[in-house]
Structure 1
Amino acid sequence: MDPAILGPIDAIFSPIIEPILLIGVVINLVTRHLAHRSHIRQNEEEKGSLKRFVFHEISNGVLIVFSLYYMTLHHHGGMVLSLMVLAMILADIFEFEARLVESRGGMEIELPKGSMVGSALVLVYILYIIILPAGPLDQFLTLIPI
């Protein structure tokens, strides 16, 4: 048995971390959509005055904390996931700056395509972790030898 790095926190979150990550990514996608709608509305009201969507920033923070925690449980998968989440958040930062430039220039606000692709990749990777064997569903999957 592996030693628990974080003790009681591992006892609580270790069995349910993958579903928490999946829920976190889905919530992040929803808040990204709501943030985009909010930016469009802010741009229509006043040009050049976009503000960050607080719930999306909170979901980014929670997602990075849980992905870093996942790295303490599963080192390789956690490292890959943490890097993907950090890249997604970095893309999100640059996408917001691009929306500011569009708003100040009087252009139409575009979709945050880069951060949406990053979110989709993180979602696919978390689904990969959950669905394939050696994940929490391993007890339900049977591998047939060839």
Structure 2
Amino acid sequence: MPPVSLFGPLDALVGDHIEYVLLAVVLANQVTRILAHRQHVQQAAQGGADAMTRSLPHTVSNVLLVLVSFYYLTLHHHGGIVASVLVLGLFITDFFEFEARKVEARRDIPLERPKGAIAASLLTLTYVGYQSLFFVVEPIWTALV
């Protein structure tokens, strides 16, 4: 458990493994992004832009990702700030990507993949993966540094 405990029992349960929790939530968010895009393509094909709605599982995973990254910020300040900025960028990108898909549906053109959100998600996954799986590259890192 970290020396300063802001959330008491939560810190005792999850505090030592928060990097892995964050990695799992980032991966779950990517899966929900794929499913949400499939849902949007089907909705646009059936009813156009008016039929398109935000995917509830993806919205929940976005909110959970923001909350977990903010919790990570309370435990590990440097890594938490970087992860939180990346996650907030991903959250904002997801918001505007949905609106871009609605514009495409209104114009009756095929819906593209949410490229900006995919790029932001991969950048977030790379950083969180580095934070949580550092033990894999630690021998190489310590040899170089």
Both structures adopt the same fold (TM-score exceeding 0.5)? yes
1:119 corresponds to: 121
Cα deviation for residue 145 of structure 1 reads 8.4
Does the C-alpha gap of structure 1 residues 145 and 7 become closer, same or farther in structure 2, counting only changes over 3 Å?
A: same
Distance (Å, rounded) in 1 between the aligned partners of 2:144 and 2:97: 47
Q: CA deviation at 1:3?
A: 1.8
TM-score (norm 2): 0.90
Letter of the 2:29 counterpart: N
Counterparts of 1:145 and 1:30 in 2: how far apart (Å)?
Answer: 35
Q: 1: distance between equivalents of 2:138 and 2:79?
A: 20
Residue identity matched to 1:98: A
Pairing 1:32-47 to 2, within 5 Å after superposition: 32-47=33-48
RMSD of aligned alpha carbons: 1.9
Count of equivalent residues: 141
Structure-to-structure mapping, 1:1-146, within 5 angstroms: 2-48=3-49, 49-132=51-134, 137=135, 142=139, 143-144=142-143
Pick closer, same or farther for the CA change 1:112–1:144 going to 2, 3 Å.
Answer: closer
Report the AA paired with residue 79 of structure 2: G
CA distance in 1, matches of 2:71, 2:29: 18
Report Cα offsets for 1:14-62 as digits up to 9, x if no partner.
0121111111011100000000000010011111121000000000011
Q: Secondary structure at the match of 2:120?
A: helix
TM-score w.r.t. length of structure 1: 0.90
Q: 113-122 or 10-19: which moved more? A: 10-19
Q: Percent of aligned positions with the same letter in both sequences?
A: 40
Find runs of 4+ consecutive structure 1 residues off by over 2 angstroms.
Answer: 140-146
Task: Identify the structure with the greater helix proportion.
Answer: 2
State the Cα distance separating 1:141 from its structure 2 match: 5.0
Residue segments in structure 1 that go unaligned for 5+ positions in a row: none
Spell out, residue by residue over 1:57-98, the C-alpha distance to the aligned partner (whole angstroms, 9 max, x if none): 000011110000000000011011001000001000010000
